[in-house]
Structure 1
Amino acid sequence: MLNLVIFGPPGAGKGTQSAKLIEKYQLVHVSTGDIFRAHIKGQTPLGQQVSQIIAEGNLVPDSITIAMLEEEVKKNPDAKGFIFDGFPRTVAQAESLDAFLEGINTSISVVIALDVNEDELKARIAKRKEISGRADDDADKLVKRIDEYFTKTIHVLPYYEAQGKLSKVNGIGDIDSIFKSLTDIIDNY
């Protein structure tokens, strides 16, 4: 089973590249952002709770995030593998993910970090907001999300580096060139 973590700050291209990787490797995309948005759109009790947390620009607590992620994985017992997008965001989440996957006899194969500088991120997200109108692309929330990534989330990378699973890819350039860099790494696994 091929299990990938696509890592990077908001606007790095995780969703764009994940879509291409899903098609090529026939993987299931598990995006915590998509899961949260689906619950919010469906106005589930969990969605209402998550909506308030996100509206304040905060991260959803680990217990909620992990439970939703495990539910998504269990919905796909015959999957060839998974792409985890937007998760894990903390070392505790990474440890929980490893424990969960070990419990179903699999593990993370590779973690790919898309490196993109802050100016490029802001430009991409401003453009994305014009096109999609995503509420989480608001300028104030964006600054908080980027800051959250560079002060907290980025500390997950050494966890995977210590396991020999981390690869970094320059996330600036044309989509197909970045995709080729990703597939070159993945094909080694």
Structure 2
Amino acid sequence: MRIVLVGPPGAGKGTQAAYLAKNLAIPHISTGDLFRANISQGTPLGQKAQEYMRAGQLVPDEVTIGMAKDRMEQPDAANGFLLDGFPRNLAQAESLDEILKADDLRLDAVLDLEVPEDEVVKRIAGRRICRRDSSHVFHVIYNAPKTEGVCDACGGELYQRDDDHEDTVRDRLEVYHTQTEPIIDYYKAQGLVVTISALGPVAEVTERAMAALDRANA
């Protein structure tokens, strides 16, 4: 299957993408991983991206599209892939269609993870990260540490990242509504969108997603 995963920040896209890709035996292709891989390997596209990033500028669509195209052409993606974070806007969505069409391929589904805005803010603004080890992540409501402000695992100080503050989260949501949400209508016109609630335990959301994808591929 060739799937695009969409949803607002805080919807759990990365978590669900990992589970879905494993269940479907297809690679999980995320924008973040694409950038890290290209930059660390010093590819021409990675070098271009780094130039823009060092200058504090947004990486142009054509660079992101080029990275995604290269990754989708790798052998492990021959039978499908799950795209997470790409396409991010209409221009990228149209380019993706052209890339697939050139190989006589098409998307099978666009999975839309739906989460109320207040829940997104609660999820992200409540996160606390350990300064000693950033893989230790807590939440003031859903996964509170035993001692406030102290990591259960190593005793490090827990802090709130700048981009997790409520006003920043709402700014990120506005960017999502303006830039990314229009691709949902674009794909709805193609009959590709399946929308599920991303509320509830991770395993339940995964089951919901797999059932929706099965129906879409029936």
TM-score range, shorter chain: 0.7 to 0.9
The correspondence for 1:49, drawn from 48, 51, 54, is 51
1:41 CA drift (Å) = 5.7
Q: Distance in 2 between matches of 1:162 and 1:108?
A: 13
Pair 1:25 & 2:9 matched: no
1:93 CA drift (Å) = 1.1
1:128 CA drift (Å) = 5.2
Structure 2 unaligned spans of 5+: 138-159
Q: Provide the residue aligned with 1:10 in structure 2.
A: 9
Contact 1:36 1:50 in 2 (8 A): no
1:48 CA drift (Å) = 2.2
Structure 1 unaligned spans of 5+: none
Q: How does 1:75-94 map to 2 (within 5 A)?
A: 75-76=74-75, 79-94=78-93
Per the normalisation by structure 2, the TM-score is 0.74
Q: Distance in 1 between matches of 2:41 and 2:88?
A: 25
User: Which deviations, in whole Å up to 9, do the C-alpha atoms of 1:8-27 show, x marking residues without a partner?
Assistant: 11111111111111111101
> Residues 109 and 129 (structure 1 numbering): CA distance in 2 closer, same or farther, change over 3 Å?
farther
Identity score, percent: 38
User: Which deviations, in whole Å up to 9, do the C-alpha atoms of 1:116-136 show, x marking residues without a partner?
Assistant: 122222333345562548979
Larger mean Cα displacement after TM superposition, 63-72 or 143-152: 143-152
1 or 2 for the larger relative contact order (CA 8 Å, sep ≥6)? 1
The correspondence for 1:154, drawn from 176, 181, 197, is 181
Q: Which protein shows a greater Rg?
A: 2
Q: CA RMSD for the aligned pairs?
A: 2.7
Pair 1:164 & 2:191 matched: yes
The alignment partner of 1:187 has SS state of helix
Q: Provide the residue aligned with 1:74 in structure 2.
A: 73
Q: Distance in 2 between matches of 1:127 and 1:70?
A: 36
Larger mean Cα displacement after TM superposition, 12-21 or 137-146: 137-146
> What is the number of residues matched between the two proteins?
185
1:7 CA drift (Å) = 0.4
Which structure: greater helix fraction? 1
Per the normalisation by structure 1, the TM-score is 0.84
**Runs (4+) of structure 1 moved beyond 6 Å?**
133-136
User: Which deviations, in whole Å up to 9, do the C-alpha atoms of 1:53-105 show, x marking residues without a partner?
Assistant: 7x66x5x3211110010111122366321101111121221111011011122
